Amino acid sequence: MAPCTSNSVAAPLVMYQPRGVFSIAKTSKQQTAYVALLDMRVRTVEKQEDAYWRTRFCREDYYVPGRGYDQYQPAYAMGCSNALQQSDADFQDLEREMEAQWATDSGSSLLPWREVRFAIQAAWERTASHRLKIELPALNSPAVVDVLGDIQPIYRSCVALADDLQRMGSVPMSSFAHQVLQRHSQMLRGFALTLQKKMALDVRRQTPDVFTHWSHCWRSQWAQFKNRMAEWEPAQVFELCEVRERKLFTAYQRTLHKKLPAEISELLQQQSHQLKINVDRLGWVRANWSL
């Protein structure tokens, strides 16, 4: 049977924030890592369910012809999310609470509760019957404790190199060369931002000794580099960029050999692959273009 199609604009994926399971206080690196893993697993299930309903919503008995997926998607998200959070409850136990929630937070949908109730219940029952529950690691699990320690060095390297590339743009070079450096800087900032979101990292909360030490080292090295920058050639900038990106790629590969949560491993694989492609292109540009 063909999947549902709609002429309406694709609905953005709405994910309702779980309430009960995220009540753990973020008072330590261990708890922060635990919450981050929990958040990723919730979102993975929600994305899987969204993909399922997107292809079959128009075949449900409650569907009204002509309505786009955007009118039902928030309802499916609510049903799935609440089923994950309240695994010991029945739909009827929380129906009134969800009706009140829908009245104030229905996302892209313009439908009243009575027209989405069955969609919410269907999503709830599917999530519950398929036992799409989140298998939580123990809070004191070594894997949970080690995750931030594995990822933070890559995160900091991405931030540092992106900043350095931005500053090295002051070396006189062609507009094309500037564009290449800018693209690489933006790529690395994108990597860092994604890692920060995934791992609930917040550099403003770094312990003073770690962050201050890194900052002091950077200032000392940068001061020496800045004094020589006026004498640099564009090729030297590109060579330095390539060397450091290859070192970063090695760090990715080293981290990927460790035992990581599947979501983190997949993310690092994607970033590593993208980095490898771009660093190879950088070497080709350095060898074949006038910078």
Residue-wise pLDDT for 125-172, tens only, equals: 888 877 544 554 444 444 444 667 778 889 888 988 888 888 787 788
Provide mean pLDDT across the span 53-80: 94
* Residue 30 predicted with pLDDT over 90: no
Pick the CATH number of 142-288 from 3.40.50.300, 2.60.120.260, 1.20.1260.10, 2.60.40.150: 1.20.1260.10
DSSP string over 182-220? HHHHHHHHHHHHHHHHHHT--GGGS-HHHHHHHHHHHHH
The pLDDT, as a whole number, for residue 3 is: 66
CA-based R_g, the chain, Å: 24
* Residue 38 predicted with pLDDT over 60: no
Token reading at 235 = 């090729």
pTM score above 0.85: no
Whole-number Cα distances in Å, 149 to 152, 156, 168, 182: 6, 11, 29, 29
* Residue 15 predicted with pLDDT over 50: no
Task: Please state, in angstroms and rounded to a whole number, the distance separating the CA atoms of residues 101 and 72.
Answer: 15
The pLDDT, as a whole number, for residue 196 is: 82
Q: What angle do CA 276, 281, 282 make, to 5 degrees?
A: 95
